[in-house]
Amino acid sequence: MVISLEDAAAILNKWKEESTNILVVAESPFRQTLRGIEGPGVRWAMGQHVRVSQVTFSVDERSSKGIVEFEGHAGNFLSLSIGHCRIVYGDPREASPDNR
Amino acid sequence: MLLLSLEDAVTVLNKWKDESASVLVLGQNSFRLGLRSVHEGGVDWNIGLRGTVSQVSVCQGAISSKTGRVVFESPGGNLSLSVDSCVFSYDASCEKPPLLKADTGSKTLSCLFIFFPTNEAFVVYELQER
Cα–Cα distance for residue pair B75/A2, rounded to 1 Å: 32
Contact between A64 and A85 under an 8 Å Cβ cutoff? The reply is: no
Closest CA to B49 of A56, A53, A12, A50: A50
Judge: A77–B79 Cβ closer than 8 Å, yes or no. Answer: no
For the ranges A25-39, A50-64, B76-90, the maximum mean pLDDT occurs at B76-90
The verdict on A54 touching B (C-beta cutoff 8 Å) is no
How many structural domains are present in chain B?
A: 1
Q: For residue B130, what pLDDT is reported? A: 74
Closest CA in chain B for residue A42: B82
Cis peptide before A29 (omega within 30 of 0): yes
Q: Where are the domains of chain A?
A: 2-30+43-99
Tens of pLDDT, residue by residue over B62-109, are: 666 778 999 999 999 999 999 989 999 999 999 888 777 666 678 899
User: pLDDT tens for residues B27-67?
Assistant: 999 888 788 888 888 899 999 999 999 999 988 766 667 78
Q: Count how many pairs of residues, chain A against chain B, have C-beta atoms within 8 Å.
A: 84
Amino acid at A16: K
Q: How far off is chain B from A4, nearest CA to CA, in Å?
A: 18
Cβ neighbours, 10 Å, residue A24 = 17
Could you say which of A46, A49, A79 has the minimum Cβ distance to residue B38?
Answer: A79
Predicted confidence (pLDDT) at residue A21 exceeds the cutoff of 80: yes
Q: Give the HSE-up count for residue B96: Cα atoms under 13 Å, Cβ half-sphere.
A: 13
Question: What SS3 state is found at B73?
Answer: strand
Rounded to an integer, the average pLDDT of A89-95 is: 81
Which domain covers residue B94, as residue numbers?
A: 2-129
What's the CA gap between B48 and A3, in Å, rounded? 27
List chain B residues with CB under 8 Å of A70: none
Q: Which pLDDT value is given to residue B105?
A: 78
Average per-residue pLDDT in chain A?
A: 91
Identify whether the C-beta of residue B88 lies closer than 8 Å to the C-beta of residue B113: yes
pLDDT of res. B39: 86
Q: What is the pTM of this model?
A: 0.91
Smallest CA–CA distance from A29 into chain B, residue: B118
Question: A50 vs B13, B45, B113, CA distance in Å?
Answer: 26, 15, 25
CB within 8 Å: B38 and A72: no
- ipTM score for this prediction: 0.89
Q: What is the pLDDT of residue B63?
A: 63
Residue A11 has pLDDT above 90, yes or no: yes
Set of chain B residues whose Cβ sits within 8 Å of the Cβ of A74: 50-51, 74-76
